[in-house]
C-alpha cells in the first residue's frame, strides 16, 4: 500500500481567481512506513503572493523568481503520485489548486492519476467533533512534535501530517507485526498475527455501561425518527 502525504503553499486562497502553487511537498508511506522517498519543489507562480499569504508561508516573491514553473515539474509530479492514495489536510483546497494547474496544461484532474484522496481534516472532524482540528491542534492532541513549525512550509507540513495520520489510524495496523519479522504467512510485505495462539480475555459490559448504552440508543432513536440501525436489527432478530 503506497500513500503520499501532500501539502502545498500558494500565493493566496483562490485557485479560480488566479492564485498559484508556490511550493509542493510530498512524503511517501509504504505499508505505513516512512521511506524518505520525498518530493519537494519551490515553484515560480508567475505572479506575486498576497500579503496575507506571505505572512503564513514567508516565501518571498524574489526567492521564487528563478524557480521552475509548474509545467516544468508536472510530469515528474504525476509520475511520483501515480496510483498512490493521496492524504491531504483540507484536501479540497490543495486539490483545487492542483486541478487548476493541470487544467492549464491541458491535463485531466488529479483523480485520474491517483487511486484515492483522503482528507485528514474530515477524518479529524469525525474523530474529534467540536474541537479545533488544524494541523497544529492535531499535533498537540496526538503528541507530534511541531516545535520547528514557526511558518507554514509544504514539506515540513507533509512530514508532520504523516505522523498525525499514522497516529490517527494506528488501530488499523493492530493485527500487523514488523515487516522484517520472519513468517510464512506474509502479505504485501507485512505479516498477520495469528490471534489463535493467544488466550484473549472477554470483558463484558457492566450493568451501568449497558444502561448508559441503552440511553444513548434511545436518544439516537428519538433524534432520527426511529431510524437507528441497531433498533432495526434488534427487531428483525426478535
Q: Which of 41, 57, 89, 152 is catalytic?
A: 152
- Domain spanning 2-168: CATH superfamily: Ribonuclease H-like superfamily/Ribonuclease H (3.30.420.10)
pTM: 0.71
pLDDT, tens digit (0-9, with 9 covering 90-100), for 104-159: 999 999 999 999 999 999 999 999 999 999 999 999 999 998 886 666 789 999 99
Which runs of E-coded beta strand occur in 19-161? Answer: 21-30, 33-34, 39-42, 85-88, 116-119
Q: Strand 33-34 relative to strand 116-119: parallel, antiparallel, unpaired?
A: unpaired
Range list for CATH 3.30.420.10 in the chain: 2-168
pLDDT, tens digit (0-9, with 9 covering 90-100), for 145-201: 888 666 678 999 999 999 999 999 986 654 343 444 444 444 455 556 666 666 667
Backbone angles phi, psi at 86, to 5 degrees: -90, 135
Tell me the C-alpha distance between 86 and 111, whole Å.
9
Tell me the C-alpha distance between 94 and 2, whole Å.
20
Q: Is 152 a catalytic residue?
A: yes
3-state helix, strand, coil in the chain (%, to 5): 45, 15, 40
Amino acid at each position: 500500500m503506497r500513500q503520499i502525504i501532500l501539502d502545498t503553499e500558494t500565493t493566496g486562497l483562490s485557485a479560480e481567481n488566479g492564485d498559484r502553487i508556490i511550493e509542493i511537498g510530498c512524503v511517501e508511506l509504504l505499508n505505513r512506513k516512512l521511506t524518505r522517498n520525498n518530493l519537494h519543489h519551490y515553484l515560480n507562480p508567475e505572479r506575486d503572493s498576497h500579503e496575507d499569504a506571505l505572512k503564513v508561508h514567508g516565501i518571498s516573491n524574489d526567492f521564487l523568481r528563478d524557480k521552475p514553473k509548474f509545467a516544468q515539474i508536472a510530469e515528474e509530479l504525476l509520475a511520483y503520485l501515480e496510483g498512490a492514495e493521496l492524504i491531504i489536510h483540507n484536501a479540497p483546497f490543495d486539490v483545487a489548486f492542483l486541478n487548476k494547474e493541470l487544467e492549464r496544461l491541458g491535463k485531466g484532474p488529479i483523480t485520474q492519476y491517483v487511486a484515492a484522496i483522503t482528507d485528514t481534516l474530515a477524518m479529524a472532524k469525525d474523530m474529534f467533533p467540536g474541537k479545533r482540528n488544524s494541523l497544529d491542534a492535531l499535533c498537540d492532541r496526538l503528541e507530534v512534535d511541531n516545535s520547528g513549525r514557526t511558518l507554514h512550509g509544504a514539506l515540513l507540513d507533509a512530514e508532520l501530517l504523516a505522523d498525525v495520520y499514522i497516529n490517527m489510524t494506528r488501530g488499523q495496523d493492530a493485527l500487523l507485526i514488523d515487516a522484517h519479522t520472519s513468517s510464512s504467512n506474509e502479505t504485501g510485505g507485512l505479516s498477520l498475527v495469528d490471534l489463535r495462539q493467544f488466550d484473549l480475555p472477554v470483558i463484558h459490559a457492566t450493568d451501568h455501561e449497558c444502561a448508559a448504552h441503552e440511553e444513548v440508543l434511545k436518544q439516537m432513536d428519538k433524534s432520527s425518527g426511529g431510524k437507528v440501525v441497531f433498533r432495526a436489527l434488534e427487531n428483525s432478530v426478535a
